[in-house]
């Protein structure tokens, strides 16, 4: 059985990650695919959960990331195209680099829209109260706006439709231009 790919779709809230990842998984050129929405893994926490945006959630967030990384690896070993959708900033990239050493093909794609567009798209969501949501989205936008060595992995979605974003990602996956390397 041929191993599948892992395609990480990340970026600040409001950049189109979830919609894009869902369509990308459905339009995969591999015979099997899966969309792993990382937020789902946080919902599995029943007791002692810390909101993931709080500073004291670091250890918890690492456990959750390792859990969905293990799920992604298993699906990939099963021949699935694995589309991982969530907040996987450079601060959480180390575990993904380690699986590249194990021979997994991991694509790292950061969706970014301009700040005004990101705020327009994301702030109306009702996950948190409006003030906290505004602060969180601004913070995440800033964090994904300073990526240093991963800047080349950015796709600017400000003026892209979802279909244009999906097409751009498919092209980058085909060319392997956004693969993680050691």
Element containing residue 111 per DSSP (H, E): strand 106-112
Q: In tens digits, what is the pLDDT along the chain, a chain of 182 residues? A: 589 999 999 999 889 999 999 999 999 999 999 999 999 999 999 999 999 988 999 999 999 999 999 999 999 999 999 999 999 999 999 999 999 999 999 999 999 999 999 988 887 666 656 777 788 889 999 999 989 999 999 999 999 999 999 999 999 999 999 999 97
Residue 182, domain member (yes or no): no
Find the domain containing 92 and state its range: 6-175
The radius of gyration of the chain's CA atoms, rounded to the nearest angstrom, is 16
CATH code for position 170: 3.40.50.300
Question: What is the count of structural domains for the chain?
Answer: 1
Residue 14, strand partner residues: none
Q: Is 125 inside a domain boundary?
A: yes
> Is 180 a member of any domain?
no
Question: Among residues 43, 25, 7, which one has the least CA distance to residue 127?
Answer: 43
Q: How many CB atoms lie within 10 A of CB 57?
A: 15
């Amino acid at each position: 059985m041929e191993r599948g790919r892992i395609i990480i779709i990340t970026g600040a809230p409001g950049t189109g990650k979830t919609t894009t990842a869902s369509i990308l998984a459905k339009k995969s050129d591999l015979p099997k695919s899966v969309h792993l929405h990382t937020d789902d893994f946080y919902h599995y926490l029943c007791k002692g959960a810390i909101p993931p945006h709080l500073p004291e959630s670091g250890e918890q967030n690492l456990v959750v990331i390792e859990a969905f990384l293990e799920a992604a690896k298993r699906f990939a070993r099963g021949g699935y195209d694995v589309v991982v959708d969530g907040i996987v900033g450079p601060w959480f990239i180390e575990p993904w680099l380690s699986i590249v050493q194990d021979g997994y093909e991991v694509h790292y794609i950061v969706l970014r829209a301009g700040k005004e567009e990101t705020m327009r798209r994301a702030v109306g969501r009702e996950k948190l109260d409006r003030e906290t949501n505004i602060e969180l989205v601004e913070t995440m936008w800033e964090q994904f706006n300073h990526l240093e060595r991963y800047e080349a992995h950015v796709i600017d979605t400000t003026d892209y439709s979802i279909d244009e974003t999906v097409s751009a990602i498919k092209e980058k996956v085909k060319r392997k231009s956004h693969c993680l390397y050691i």
